[in-house]
């Protein structure tokens, strides 16, 4: 995986850094695993705008991803590594012996022709999906379940990974991508390896139009608004805006919004660093 800086042959290309897509092996998705994806433009059923700064963007079709990896003990082969417009990570098309095809989130280093499998008592090889109880300590993992059988929920975006730190009874200790350390049931499944496309963070949009292609409209700075529109708006001249906060008045930049009485607080061993 690599990135490339474009030559400034137009003003919009100056400073622009795009993904090299070296790992991609095909540009045609598997038709049987596509689903329509409708855009709301930020409007509700009455046609009224309820979400700001959403609209336009390139048409997309959703790729049906197998987050559960629930064909246990069945070996599948990686057929291709593909681009997915709905996520930052790449996806891998896998095929089982009975010719069933499924998309999974591609792992860093996964190649066409690799054999992967999910289930307990398997070897901790790249791409294999196993219960946390079977994974050796210190292993880099991704696509982790929070509840058994629900499917991957943690560490699914480009370049992200977690690390298995300890095992204690029916729980294991996992260090999250955020730096938080928490307990997860050992019967939950996780995939060996880190997520592909780690260079995604190095890309630079270069121009406003790149955001518009993603369906994001221009965002007005709260300081530039009127007091009726935002708590940080108004003031004589160029006022700084006071304490940073959202449109609903919730403070930002360090204010913790997590419920102090949340039931899952007991599973968090160490909070992420500020």
Domains of the chain by residue range: 24-200
Q: Which CATH number fits domain 24-200: 3.10.450.50, 2.120.10.30, 2.40.50.140, 3.30.420.40?
A: 2.40.50.140
Cα–Cα distances (Å) from 75 to 18, 69, 122, 141, in that order, read 35, 11, 11, 20
Residue 137's Cβ-count burial label (10 Å; 0-12, 13-18, 19+) is: exposed
Cβ atoms within 10 Å of 20's Cβ, excluding its own? 12
Among residues 221, 218, 244, 222, the alpha carbon closest in space to that of 233 is found at 222
Look at residue 175 and tell me whether its pLDDT is greater than 70: yes
Look at residue 266 and tell me whether its pLDDT is greater than 70: yes
Distance from chain centroid for Cα 263: 25
* Confidence (pLDDT) at 1: 62
- C-alpha torsion angle, residues 196, 202, 204, 205 (rounded to 10): 20
Per the prediction, the chain carries an average pLDDT of 95
Whether the predicted model's global pTM rises above the 0.85 cut: yes
Give the pLDDT mean for 219-248. Answer: 93
Look at residue 100 and tell me whether its pLDDT is greater than 70: yes
pLDDT band at residue 2 using 50, 70 and 90 as cut-offs: confident
* Confidence (pLDDT) at 274: 67
* Confidence (pLDDT) at 202: 95
Asked whether the beta carbons of 256 and 265 are under 8 A apart, the reply is no
C-alpha 242/C-alpha 174 separation (Å) is: 39
* Confidence (pLDDT) at 160: 97
Question: For residue range 139-154, what is the model confidence (pLDDT) as tens digits?
Answer: 999 999 999 999 999 9
Q: Which phi and psi (to 5°) does residue 23 adopt?
A: -75, -15
């Amino acid at each position: 995986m690599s990135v490339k800086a474009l030559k400034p042959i137009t003003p919009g290309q100056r400073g622009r850094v795009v993904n090299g897509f070296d790992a991609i092996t095909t540009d045609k998705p598997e038709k049987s695993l596509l689903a329509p994806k409708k855009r709301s433009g930020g409007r509700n059923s009455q046609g009224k705008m309820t979400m700001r700064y959403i609209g336009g963007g390139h048409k997309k079709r959703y790729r049906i991803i197998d987050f559960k990896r629930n064909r246990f003990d069945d070996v599948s082969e990686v057929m291709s590594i593909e681009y997915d417009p709905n996520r930052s990570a790449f996806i891998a098309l896998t095929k089982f012996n009975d010719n069933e095809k499924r998309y999974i989130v591609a792992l860093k280093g996964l190649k066409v022709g690799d054999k992967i499998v999910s289930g307990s008592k398997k070897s901790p090889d790249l791409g294999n999906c196993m219960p946390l109880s079977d994974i050796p300590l210190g292993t880099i993992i991704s696509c982790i379940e929070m509840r058994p059988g629900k499917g991957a929920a943690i560490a699914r975006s480009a370049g992200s990974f977690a690390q298995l730190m300890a095992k204690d009874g029916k729980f294991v200790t996992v260090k999250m991508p955020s730096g938080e350390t928490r307990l997860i049931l050992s019967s939950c499944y996780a995939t060996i390896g880190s997520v592909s496309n780690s260079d995604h963070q190095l890309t630079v949009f270069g121009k406003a139009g790149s955001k518009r292609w993603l369906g994001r409209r221009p965002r007005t700075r709260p300081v530039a608004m009127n007091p009726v529109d935002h708590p940080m708006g108004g003031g004589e001249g160029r006022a700084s805006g006071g304490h940073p906060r959202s449109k609903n008045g919730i403070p930002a930049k360090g204010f913790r919004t997590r419920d102090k009485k949340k039931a899952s607080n007991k599973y968090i061993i160490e909070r992420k660093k500020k």
